[in-house]
Amino acid sequence: MRIHEIAFWFSSFFLFGVLLKSFDKISLSVLVFFVLAVSFIIFLFGYINKKRFLIFISVLFLAVNLGGFYYYFWNSFQKSKINIPIGEKIIFSGIISEYPQKGDQQKLIIKLSEPFSGRILINLNRYPEFDYGDLIEFDGLIKKPKSESYAKYLEKDSIFAVSDYPKSKLISKNNGLFFKAALFSLKENFVGNINKILSYEKAAFLSGITIGERAQFSKEFKEAMNNSGTSHLVALSGYNITILATAAFAFFGYMFSRRATFVFTLILIIGFVFMAGAEPSIVRAAIMGSIALLAEQIGRIKSMRNAIVLAALFMVLINPNVLRFDLGFQLSFAALMGIVYLSPAIKKFLKMKDEEGIFGWRKNFLNTTAAQLTVIPILVFNFGKLSVFGLIANILILEFMPLTMFIGFLAGSVGFASYHLSLVIGWFVNILLSYELWVIEFFGRFPALSVKAGIIFVAIFYFVLLLFVLHQKKTKQ
């Protein structure tokens, strides 16, 4: 077995160990069975011989245990640095350390000032408004999150407590990092540019699919997206950036060489990261989108396999909680795996031509269908709902989503230089948004089915997809 193959399997089982430890209830017998089963399958495919079989199993067990230890060590170290007076009604102060979420209410991530330390989530009324870098004094109760699952969700962002509607008073402004404040200001102005050229609902949707800004969504629109199975469009992940990169790749490809197109598209992705505020979730999404773009360049499954696993390893080493508790992270990897592995299988099954077609419709159709199929189990597992016509709605929308995101991103960016030019560009994106919102509202009339799906359902679903991919690969050979 070659070095790159050893690195792939070791990294994969390290990630598996992190995932197992995050559940904290997986028995040793399940672990032993899984490692032996995978090792036996690898042995049957001829990757290892009899002499190295026991060595290979030992290495896999070592990788799994290292992953579990790393998860435990990282979280223990994070918690050792916090000093939060949970369960006490006190006066405390802190600085807003991330971009505030502003909708019907404000959600502020506060870095506590001395004598306390750590980060907590503050829920406040819509007004008075606060901004990143504000130093605020609070008077209220700090408590644990309402449920264990919600606590784990917050812990992935190193948030360990919450406080609901305490009394608040601004002490001073501009206490954050200048660079970060500039990025958030850029994000707000970008949204403002979009609001100037589009109606309220269309501007809200475009802000959501481009930079993940969902504060302006109405309750009715959120329900329509849930029923139509399109909520993931505004859950900023690597898939969103993959869509944007696909559109940019097609656009630049008509004018430049393949290598130049690749460079220009990467520059656009970097610009997107800065425009969206360069938050950790957006950086992770950009990494995944860039890997998907790299897949277009490499075109080799084995190289992409290693690139995907190493990217996951890099992000998990930074924060191991994302593997289980970050939905955007999961959607990114699931969608990317669908594009890399499932898309060619569907193409073979449908006997589609190699030509991409007008505006690359065949490629877009295959990528969006494959990505949608691979994210369905995650969405059902997390939300307990299955849209009756979700697959149809997504295919109808996602076919036009790359162009919508690209023109929308262009319109918001041009707005910094010329309002009238952005208005002209906005006219074109308005046509696409009208169609997409119509699809969401039409299919949103049909209530989603309540589905109780556990980890077994997810495993079976992906196992079936795996069999389909292997069967099509065998047929092709």
What tens digit of pLDDT does each residue of 308-340 get?
787 788 888 888 888 888 777 787 778 778 877
CA distances from 91 to 94, 113, 118, 163, 398 (A): 11, 11, 16, 12, 49
- Which one of 57, 80, 103 terminates a domain? 80
Measured in Å, how far apart are the chain's first and last C-alpha atoms? 23
- Residue 109: name the closest of 117, 101, 97, 118 by CA: 97
Q: Is residue 278 part of a domain?
A: yes
Residue 402 has a pLDDT of: 76
> What is the average pLDDT across 107-129?
88
CA dihedral 82, 85, 87, 89 (to 10 degrees): -140
List the CATH number of the domain containing 123: 2.40.50
Band of residue 239 on the pLDDT scale cut at 50, 70, 90: low
Band of residue 431 on the pLDDT scale cut at 50, 70, 90: very high
* Cβ neighbours of residue 54 closer than 8 Å, sequence gap 6 or more: none
**Higher model confidence: residue 139 or residue 451?**
139
**Residue 320 in contact with residue 15, Cβ under 8 Å?**
no
> What is the average pLDDT across 225-230?
80
Q: What is the pTM of this model?
A: 0.70
Residues 35 and 116 in one domain: no
- Which one of 33, 60, 80 terminates a domain? 80
> What is the average pLDDT across 101-119?
85
> What is the average pLDDT across 361-370?
72
> What is the average pLDDT across 390-407?
80
How many structural domains does the chain have?
A: 3
Q: How many other CB atoms are found less than 10 A from the CB of residue 15?
A: 19
Weakest mean pLDDT among 72-76, 189-193, 312-316, 397-401: 397-401
425's tokens: 């560009």
* Separation between Cα atoms, residue 285 and residue 315, nearest integer Å: 11
At residue 376, the 3 state secondary structure works out as: helix
Residue 237 has pLDDT above 80, yes or no: no
> What is the average pLDDT across 422-437?
91
* Separation between Cα atoms, residue 156 and residue 74, nearest integer Å: 11
Residues 207 and 60 in one domain: no
* Separation between Cα atoms, residue 362 and residue 352, nearest integer Å: 8
Residue 131 has pLDDT above 70, yes or no: yes
Residue 435 has a pLDDT of: 92
Q: Is residue 240 part of a domain?
A: yes
Q: Which of 238-247, 403-412, 458-467 has the highest mean pLDDT?
A: 403-412
Residues 200 and 310 in one domain: yes
Residues 169 and 132 in one domain: yes
Residue 130 has pLDDT above 60, yes or no: yes
The burial of 2, by beta-carbon neighbours within 10 Å (0-12 exposed, 13-18 middle, 19 or more buried), is given as exposed
**How far from chain centre, in Å, is Cα 296?**
20
Residues 166 and 285 in one domain: no
Average pLDDT, the chain: 78
Q: Is residue 232 part of a domain?
A: yes
Return the percentage of the chain with pLDDT > 90, whole number: 3
* Separation between Cα atoms, residue 297 and residue 124, nearest integer Å: 47
Residue 32 has a pLDDT of: 56
Residue range 449-474, pLDDT digits in tens? 777 777 777 778 888 888 888 777 76
CA dihedral 194, 198, 201, 207 (to 10 degrees): -20
Residues 310 and 406 in one domain: yes
Residue 432 has a pLDDT of: 92
Residues 380 and 343 in one domain: yes
State the residue range of the domain holding 23: 3-80
- 301-318 and 280-298 are packed helices; what angle lies between their axes, rounded to 10 degrees? 170
Residue range 160-204, pLDDT digits in tens? 889 888 898 889 988 888 878 887 888 888 888 998 898 888 888
Residue range 34-70, pLDDT digits in tens? 555 555 555 555 555 555 656 666 677 778 778 888 8
Q: Is residue 29 part of a domain?
A: yes
Residues 74 and 126 in one domain: no
Residues 76 and 110 in one domain: no
Specify the DSSP class assigned to residue 448. P
